[in-house]
Amino acid sequence: MRDLQLSLNQTQRVRLEAALDELQTVAPAAAVTVADTIPVNDEDNILKGHGTSDQDGEVVATLCGVVERVNKLVYVRTLRARYKPEVGDIIVGRVIEIAPKRWRLEINFSQDAVLMLSSMNLPDGIQRRRTAVDELNMRTIFEENDVICAEVRGFQHDGSLHLQARSQKYGKLERGQLLVVPAYLVKRRKQHFHHLEQYDVDLILGCNGFIWVGEHVVVGENANMMENKLNLSAEVENFTPLETRKHICRLANAVRVLSALGFTLTVELIIETAEASVSSNIEINNMLGAEFYVQTAEREVKRRADLLRKKSGAR
**What is the tens place of the pLDDT at every residue in 176-202?**
999 999 888 898 888 999 999 999 999
pLDDT digits (tens, 9 = 90+) for 20-57: 888 777 665 667 888 888 888 776 788 888 889 988 88
The mean pLDDT of 224-246, rounded to a whole number, is 61
Of residues 72 and 270, the one with the higher pLDDT is 270
Co-location of 215 and 251 in the same domain: yes
Distance CA 294, CA 280 (A): 13
Co-location of 313 and 220 in the same domain: yes
Calculate the average pLDDT of the chain: 84
List phi, psi (to 5°) of 149: -110, 135
**Whether the predicted pLDDT of 221 surpasses 50:** no
pTM exceeding 0.85: no
Q: How far is CA 145 from CA 60, 175, 296, in A?
A: 45, 14, 33
**pLDDT (0 to 100) of residue 92:** 95
Query: Domain residues for 68?
Result: 33-78
Co-location of 262 and 240 in the same domain: yes
pLDDT digits (tens, 9 = 90+) for 152-172: 999 888 878 899 988 888 889
Residue finishing a domain among 78, 108, 139: 78
**pLDDT (0 to 100) of residue 217:** 84
Co-location of 58 and 108 in the same domain: no
Co-location of 188 and 156 in the same domain: no
Instruction: Report which of 280, 293, 216, 265 is spatially closest to residue 20, judged by C-alpha positions.
Output: 293
pLDDT digits (tens, 9 = 90+) for 281-304: 999 989 998 899 999 998 988 888
Q: By mean pLDDT, which of 7-21, 88-102, 219-233 is the weakest?
A: 219-233
Residue finishing a domain among 130, 155, 173: 173
**Whether the predicted pLDDT of 229 surpasses 60:** no
Percent share of the chain, pLDDT over 90: 35
